[in-house]
């Protein structure tokens, strides 16, 4: 408690100051600009936001986005949970190659992954051809150009993002708790539902948040696999900017997403420390 | 509340556990009486936890058999053995309150709500934690957590309670307090306790019988007195209490430090006598410890009652060490 407050801030801050300034200028600047745009274009006022109440197409797009993101989150986290579980509790030897598979899929471009689904599930794709070939179906199944296709592509892309936080939280679980539960007479499934699952809750919350937030901004996958029939916010924003040139509406939607995400984080922070969610570590 | 006493006799028959080529438990034969407080005592790595985990059912056995009241339980999974277990570090469920933790074994057995409430109440009384029922484990002290773990493990009236170093995390003073409580609880519930520790004082003060283990094998079994007074091997003599080792009549003998009298040269009175010189005297409050060097032998330790002894003998003094016949115990070769 000695010295002036400025002295206490210290030389450490001076070192990072230039970078801090750069981050503020390049990151916060454009965001402020977007916020400004959303209330000034085409004319000053809250007209862009008011359109949310009146425009059916806007409401439909938001609803589609929320629905697709929610379903994506549900399935990605469910699959991610079982993958992480197998990695943590499976044979040690298998853990490394499982982890590398997860990481490799991280590094493959979303474009490549989306087009591979097109090859697999299109009308003349591998799956339809194979099913028709062995005579199970006579008409190709419509996997693509609808919400199902978008969901398949998005879940597939998001699973690794769900796996990592879950992995971190499962690794911190004291396995003696599981033994204790069984010694107290609980069956395997009782132990899972009453001890294991509650203990991985921070990981579940983190994985769900991460997947949901990332899904909100998805552009490529819905555009390609939805075939223009599943319009989500990101694609709509790009249309507003590039085609119809209604920048005000685009900025309003972007601001809405930004505040949505911040709101989500705020609500979660009421329930648990965010650092424990994203840090993975937990006492 | 002696509800556990109806059964609980355990029998280990040639029990063996190998991890690869390493034998962690080697042909262990042991009869545990129902209601008994039996302690497994041994240095780190001697196979105590391994043995306990096989009894609990968490480790497959490599050879031999485990019988509960005469019938084999080797193939019964841990959740169906109905043994209570207190883990090292307690393993309380961090997301459940004290009450929920204790109720857990009855909950998973789908017992009626009224019965659960009554039983949990009894358990909270037993371990004197009534006012902490709604706290989370992390809001309790180590000693309190230990008692919750005990209550949880006893709640479903198991015939056998297995405890793996339950007091290991407590400080010395608290440990002695909890030892007394544990012993009291054992007497009240009448359950068979199988207790693992590497603390010899704990073993001596609590047990009906002690099993001394080394390298996965049983070194000696007996009551605390038997083991202390008549150790069979040098290992048992050195591990439980302190011992001086002397060779007499071609055999190794163990001689407890407090059985030796020390007196100035020429004043020794016992049947067996050695001449030595005091090298060190240390005051421990209740007793005085002398290190006495004797020509041609290891330093001999002598403990005397500090209050009765009066003034300590000065370092450098020539003394006679003496002890009555029978004080030195002849050991088996091994
Ligand atoms: N899963 C395992 N794989 C290989 N070796 C093991 C395994 N578990 C235990 N061991 C070995 O078996 C021996 C006995 O271990 P155990 O845990 O039973 O000792 P302990 O008497 O409980 O020791 P401590 O007092 O340190 O707890 C040790 O040498 C240990 O390394
Ligand atoms: Mg151990």
Domain(s) of CATH 3.40.50.300: residues in chain B: 3-234
Closest residue to atom 10 of ligand 1, CA basis: B24
pLDDT in tens, A44-79: 888 889 888 888 989 999 999 999 999 999 999 999
Of B24, B39, B217, the one to substitute when testing ligand 1's pocket (max ligand atoms within 8 A of C-beta) is: B24
How remote is the CA of residue A47 from the centroid of ligand 1, in Å? 72
Which residues in chain B have Cβ-Cβ distances shorter than 8 Å to A190? 108
Work out the average pLDDT over A129-158.
90
Q: Using CB atoms, which residue from B79, B87, B95 is nearest to A186?
A: B79
**For chain B, which residues score pLDDT lower than 70?**
1-6, 334
- pLDDT of A266 reads 86
Query: What CATH number does the domain located at B246-330 have?
Result: 2.40.50.140
Q: Which range marks the domain in which residue A135 is found? A: 58-230
Q: Is residue A141's pLDDT more than 70?
A: yes
| β partners of residue B320 | B263, B275
Residue A213: which of A227, A199, A234 has the closest Cα?
A234
Q: In this predicted structure, what is the pLDDT of residue B47?
A: 93
Interface mutation vs chain B, best among A173, A183, A194, A271, most B CBs within 10 Å: A183
User: What does the alpha-carbon distance between residue B179 and residue B150 come to, in Å, rounded to a whole number?
Assistant: 12
- What is the Cα–Cα distance from B146 to B151, expressed in whole angstroms? 9
Give me the number of domains chain A comprises.
1
From the CB of B198, is ligand 1 less than 6 Å away? yes
Question: What's the rounded mean pLDDT across residues A252-260?
Answer: 92
Query: Based on the number of CB atoms within 10 Å of its own CB, is B159 exposed (0-12), middle (13-18) or buried (19 or more)?
Result: buried
Q: What ipTM score was computed for the predicted complex, to two decimals?
A: 0.81
Q: Is residue A149 part of a domain?
A: yes
Beta pairing partners, B263: B320
Nearest ligand (C-alpha, residue B197)? 1
Write out pLDDT tens, residues B228-241: 999 999 999 999 98
Q: How confident is the model at residue A279 (pLDDT cuts 50, 70, 90)?
A: low
b/e code B284-293 from CB counts within 10 Å (16+ = b): eeebbbbbbe
Over residues B172-203, the pLDDT tens digits come to: 888 888 898 899 999 999 899 999 998 898 99
> For residue B136, what pLDDT is reported?
95
Find the A234 Cα to ligand 1 centroid distance in Å.
57
Q: Return the CATH number at A204.
A: 1.10.3720.10
- The pTM of the full predicted model, rounded to 2 decimals, is 0.81
B227 dihedral zone (left: phi>0; alpha: psi -120 to 50; beta): alpha
Q: Give me the pLDDT at residue B222, please.
A: 96
* pLDDT in the model for residue B5: 47
Contacts of A181 in chain B (CB under 8 A): 93, 104, 108
Average pLDDT of the residues of chain A: 87
The pLDDT value given to residue B15: 95
CATH number of B3-234: 3.40.50.300
């Amino acid at each position: 408690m000695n010295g002036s407050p400025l002295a206490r801030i210290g030389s450490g801050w001076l070192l990072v100051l230039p970078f801090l300034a750069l981050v503020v200028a390049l990151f916060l600047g454009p965001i402020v600009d977007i916020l400004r745009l959303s209330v000034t274009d085409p004319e000053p006022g809250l007209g862009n936001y008011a359109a949310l109440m009146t425009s059916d197409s806007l409401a439909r797009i938001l609803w589609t986005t929320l629905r697709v993101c929610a379903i994506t989150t549900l399935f990605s986290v469910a699959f991610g949970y079982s993958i992480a579980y197998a990695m943590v509790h499976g044979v040690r030897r298998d853990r490394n190659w499982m982890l590398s598979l997860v990481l490799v899929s991280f590094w493959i471009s979303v474009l490549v992954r989306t087009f591979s689904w097109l090859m697999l599930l299109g009308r003349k794709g591998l799956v339809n051809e194979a099913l028709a070939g062995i005579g199970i179906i006579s008409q190709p199944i419509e996997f693509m150009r609808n919400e199902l296709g978008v969901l398949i592509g998005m879940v597939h892309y998001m699973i690794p993002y769900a796996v990592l936080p879950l992995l971190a939280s499962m690794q911190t679980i004291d396995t003696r708790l599981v033994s204790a539960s069984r010694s107290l007479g609980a069956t395997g499934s009782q132990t899972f539902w009453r001890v294991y699952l509650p203990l991985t809750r921070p990981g579940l919350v983190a994985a769900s948040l991460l997947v949901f937030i990332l899904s909100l901004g998805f552009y490529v996958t819905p555009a390609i696999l939805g075939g223009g029939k599943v319009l989500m916010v990101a694609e709509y924003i790009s249309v507003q900017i590039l085609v119809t040139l209604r920048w005000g509406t685009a900025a309003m939607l972007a601001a809405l997403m930004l505040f949505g995400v911040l709101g989500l984080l705020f609500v979660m922070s009421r329930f648990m420390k965010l650092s424990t969610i994203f840090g993975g570590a937990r006492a | 509340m002696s509800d556990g006493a109806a059964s609980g006799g355990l029998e280990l028959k040639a029990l063996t556990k190998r991890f690869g080529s390493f034998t962690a438990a080697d042909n262990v034969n042991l009869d545990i009486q129902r209601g008994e407080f039996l302690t497994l005592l041994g240095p780190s790595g001697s196979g105590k936890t391994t043995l306990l985990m096989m009894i609990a059912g968490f480790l497959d056995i490599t050879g031999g058999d485990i019988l509960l009241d005469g019938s084999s339980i080797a193939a019964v999974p841990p959740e169906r053995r109905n043994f209570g277990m207190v883990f090292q570090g307690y393993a309380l469920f961090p997301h459940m309150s004290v009450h929920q933790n204790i109720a857990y074994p009855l909950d998973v057995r789908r017992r009626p709500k009224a019965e659960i409430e009554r039983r949990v109440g009894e358990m909270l009384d037993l371990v004197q934690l009534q006012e902490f029922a709604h706290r989370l484990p992390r809001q309790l002290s180590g000693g309190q957590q230990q008692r919750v773990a005990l209550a949880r493990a006893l709640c479903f009236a198991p015939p056998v309670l297995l405890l793996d170093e339950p007091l290991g995390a407590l400080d010395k003073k608290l440990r002695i307090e909890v030892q007394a409580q544990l012993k009291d609880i054992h007497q009240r519930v009448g359950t068979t306790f199988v207790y693992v520790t590497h603390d010899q004082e704990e073993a001596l003060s609590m047990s009906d019988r002690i099993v001394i283990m080394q390298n996965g094998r049983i070194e000696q079994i007996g009551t605390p007195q038997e083991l202390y007074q008549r150790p069979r091997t040098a290992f048992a003599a050195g591990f439980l209490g302190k011992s001086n080792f002397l060779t007499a009549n071609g055999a190794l003998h163990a001689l407890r430090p407090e059985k030796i009298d020390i007196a100035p040269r020429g004043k020794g009175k016992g049947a067996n006598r050695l001449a030595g010189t005091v090298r060190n005297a240390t005051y421990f409050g209740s007793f005085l410890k002398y290190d006495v060097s004797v020509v041609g032998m290891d330093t001999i330790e002598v403990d005397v009652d500090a209050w009765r002894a009066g003034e300590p003998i000065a370092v450098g003094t020539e003394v006679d060490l003496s002890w009555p016949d029978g004080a030195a115990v002849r050991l088996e070769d091994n």
